[in-house]
Structure 1
């Protein structure tokens, strides 16, 4: 198979094509057809972001005013194209992302979906996402506060922060304030000078709704500003776990209310001196000069109230050793 190429002198010459093969194209088309339903995409997103790594039909039925048989039908469509796997336990069927398709699902939800959320305006290469005017004003304000960064970098950071948080937001009215806090943190990371800044630690778990939040809060309290702690999630939840929220209030007081799950970003990893994963696997990019560690601690989302307190105590002991190591 070949295609023609028109040259400057208007003569046509055949060139080899690198188009996807027919069999592969048919397979991809079948998968995209299965995904071309808003409810199926929402269910896929719910399963992918569930801190348990799986969801049951009863969880997914809450996404829309439809019957469980209807939900089961949509899930079967996704299973038929190998996007999901299932396992019956008792009277319920639990669904997971097929491991062989996880990277593709992540790319769809993390890259294509946020890019599609914002409407586009204008034509040609000059098109830009036409975000809410408040987000645009926020970008302008932050650009004025960080003259060391190019205004376009600030604008892109704010827009990326907005769309990343919009994926899991329950209350859209809070998106702009959350975007401001998240974007400020990211801009601070982009401008951080390792040579003069205090040590910075990044805690990463799956949902950023439990152990990574606890660890960051404990470091910030124990170090008293001599170490900065951040936290992020490889697949952030929409809210912090209620049991963890009460523990954060004990540690940080009223400022605990400002905490919310945040997605993991490359700039957060690059700004850190130490990156500690907590049950999320190998999700962090490897950056030269950054120290990596993994803490095998329990997941508060799966624990009783007493179990959550035991997890906090386990993390507290590890935090004390970490702070002692960073502040000789």
Structure 2
């Protein structure tokens, strides 16, 4: 029988293993135009922490004692939808489980781009598209800009670094520890800040003495404050995520936020689904960069459905370099 992780209680602060339970899943009947998928990889992402709170947001909260959801890729093992055949590779949002039964309309057949299906959970999926549209559209970044990106060794951050270099920008990346900083340098970043080595405001000032044109925020907290401190006039900030404060008990107080006024800083929040009608251009550009070697991916893979919560919680302690995936 299929199994799925359920949220059993809403966490206060950092989630723990006690908030989750792996249970047998009673599959829906395979009716007309329904498809059964055996999952091969699951995605765990920081945004899922927000779905554990019972608050109104851009995506509904997880329900208590109900199967959790997230990005997944897998193989069709039975189909009553003529659009899908047994053996087709598909991506969908019924993750946190080993098998899924879904309407064919909720599945997307993986394009034949000559890459591993799991890439569609990373550079060719939500991760890469978030980096692509956040940088180039939400932040209006362009050749010649000086970009600062936080969590530059993470899934989205590492994509941002490489897209920015492909587009002719100067890139300053922030990461934690020597190993991750070396990885960010290997992606082509012009300068790398080890945020564990000293105050960010001072470090960013040294790395960008003339200031920054663009900030891509994955972290919030002190990183966002440092970006405010060193923003040039008419700087553009793309606010993708704030992993530093997802589990915080108190809101962040920014020392330099008043520079939004004097420097005319544009702060733009965004969700990658805002740009779904334009995925064709994303596949074109990202597919070309991957094929040419301008963009490379790196995954941190945890084996086994049983370890899905462990992989998720690892996002908040820096356990991943690149995309965090669960292999089934």
Q: Please indicate, yes or no, whether the TM-score normalized by the shorter chain is above 0.5.
A: no
Larger CA Rg, structure 1 vs 2: 1
Question: Higher helix proportion, which one?
Answer: 1
Structure with greater strand share of residues: 2
TM range (shorter): under 0.3
Give the TM-score, by structure 2 length: 0.27
Question: Which fold has the larger relative contact order, with Cα–Cα distance below 8 Å and residues 6 or more apart in sequence?
Answer: 2
Relative to the length of structure 1, the TM-score reads 0.27
